[in-house]
Amino acid sequence: MTISPLARPFPALAPITGVRIGTATAGYKNWSRADVTLVELAAGTSVAGVLTRSRCPSPEVELCRERLAGGQARALVVNAGNSNAFTGLTGRQAAAAQTAAAATLVGCAPEAVFAASTGVIGVPLPQDKAVAGVTAAHAALGTGDFHAATLAIGTTDTFAKAATTAALVGDTRVTLTGIIKGSGMIAPDMATMLGFIFTDAAVAPAFLQAALDRANATSFSCITVDGDTSTSDTVLAFATGAAGHAPLTGWDSPGADAFAAALADLCRQLAQLVVRDGEGATKFITISVTGAESDAAAHRIGMSIANSPLVKTAIAGGDANWGRVVMAVGKAGEAADRDRLSIRFGTTEVAAGGAVVPGYDEAPVAAHLAGEDVEIAVDLGLGSGRARVWTCDLTHGYISINADYRS
């Protein structure tokens, strides 16, 4: 697999106190790589999550949705190579058996074990391999690190994706580290594949969920590769509390804003990494929408542009085809007034007031589009609603990957 030209190097990641990692080979496919990951979490770890809105989710998604109500986590199991989605009763039984085995190994209630699986849809997770795999991963606990886990959760990813940041909660420095996988079937509705965030901050589950929801709104919900929403999309955040400060329980807690801002920043970094590994991507595209009637309207317009095959192919071809941007604004279903619309590529305004900017200089636009990072800015001229979303171009590479991939 060719590494994405938009790849970023794997960051240096320190361990998070309260988090132990083990990986193993369950052999979900005919390979020798690690494909099952067990993360053991210290007692008292809070958990929050955002899950796919797909109406046909995987058993693991359903399991996480039920268990998030408890707010406490002691383990996370991730399988790669088999998504266990659309596998009926057999798949549900496999997920239950594997997480029950993890609970026994870790010594916790089954409700404190979370799970995610990614890979081919429709093939039940083989229960024997899944249980043997998590047992082997438990035996390896402490030998793995975030880099190993990132590799073990990956499927069609062309590079390992992770990010880290820190925040000050009062005088206490807390670390937030996330790992993520995904490159195709990346889409609007919460968007993204599997992402796991670990922090040593002490955060009550309800506030962790509130901060994650807020972060999600400006990160995972703002990316798209192909407009296709996975049946397995899962982002979970775990807070071990090992940093020892007074727990954050709400927006009024000292340090809550700093923590939430760091979480939002981390999520944005992770989301952008997924776009950078978008199938066939050669350009990273930032779409800024301002002047909409509301932030929600700006988001929908941004995603309409980001999901448009005609906009994405134009960028692939280095074509400042703002007419296609107009088309995508028009089809978004939100208020738009052609005569107030303006469009910028990079720093050059190419259209304003319902028409092309007469004699705009095409040279800087062409130079901008020849680069790896492309910025499209649209101002609706109607209100103060704004949004920023990210996508990649649509290339022959996407077709090659997806017309040849076998189910």
Name which position in 7, 310, 383, 388 contacts its own copies (CB under 8 A): 310
- How far apart, in Å, are the Cα atoms of 210 and each of 129, 216, 241, 293? 36, 10, 17, 25
Provide the token pair at 294: 């509301």
Rule CB under 8 A: which of 31-60 touch its own copies? 52-57
Q: Taking CB under 8 A as the rule, does residue 116 contact its own copies?
A: no
Q: Taking CB under 8 A as the rule, does residue 292 contact its own copies?
A: no
Rounded to whole angstroms, the Cα distance separating 104 from 181 reads: 28
Q: Taking CB under 8 A as the rule, does residue 402 contact its own copies?
A: yes
Q: Taking CB under 8 A as the rule, does residue 395 contact its own copies?
A: yes
In whole angstroms, the minimum distance from the beta carbon of 355 to its own copies comes to 4
Residue 119 bridge partners (DSSP): 81
Q: Is the dihedral of CA 52, 54, 59, 65 positive or negative?
A: positive
Q: Taking CB under 8 A as the rule, does residue 139 contact its own copies?
A: no
Name which position in 35, 60, 226, 379 contacts its own copies (CB under 8 A): 226
Provide the token pair at 397: 């590479």
Rule CB under 8 A: which of 312-371 touch its own copies? 313-314, 316-317, 319-324, 326-339, 341, 351, 353-356
In whole angstroms, the minimum distance from the beta carbon of 258 to its own copies comes to 35
Closer of 20 and 283 to its own copies (Cβ):
283
Options 30-38, 97-105, 118-126, 136-144: segment touching its own copies (CB under 8 A): 118-126
Closer of 175 and 232 to its own copies (Cβ):
232
Closer of 12 and 89 to its own copies (Cβ):
89
Rounded to whole angstroms, the Cα distance separating 178 from 79 reads: 17
Q: Write the secondary structure of 10-30 as one string of H (helix), E (strand) and C (coil).
A: CCCCCCCCCEEEEEECCCCCC
Within 13 Å of residue 286, how many CA atoms lie on the same side as its CB? Answer: 18
Give me the amino acid identity at 165: T
Rule CB under 8 A: which of 142-161 touch its own copies? none
Q: Taking CB under 8 A as the rule, does residue 189 contact its own copies?
A: yes
Give me the amino acid identity at 264: A
Q: Taking CB under 8 A as the rule, does residue 64 contact its own copies?
A: no
Options 14-22, 116-124, 243-251, 252-260: segment touching its own copies (CB under 8 A): 116-124
Rule CB under 8 A: which of 168-187 touch its own copies? 184-185, 187
In whole angstroms, the minimum distance from the beta carbon of 221 to its own copies comes to 14
Binding-site size for its own copies (CB under 8 A) equals 75
Residues labelled as active-site residues? 192
C-beta separation of 78 from 238 below 8 A: no
Provide the token pair at 346: 């990079």
Q: Taking CB under 8 A as the rule, does residue 400 contact its own copies?
A: yes
Rounded to whole angstroms, the Cα distance separating 124 from 92 reads: 9
C-beta separation of 134 from 77 below 8 A: yes
Sequence ranges of the binding site for substrate: 155, 181, 192, 279, 402, 407
With CA atoms as reference, report the closest residue to 223 among 160, 260, 180.
Answer: 180
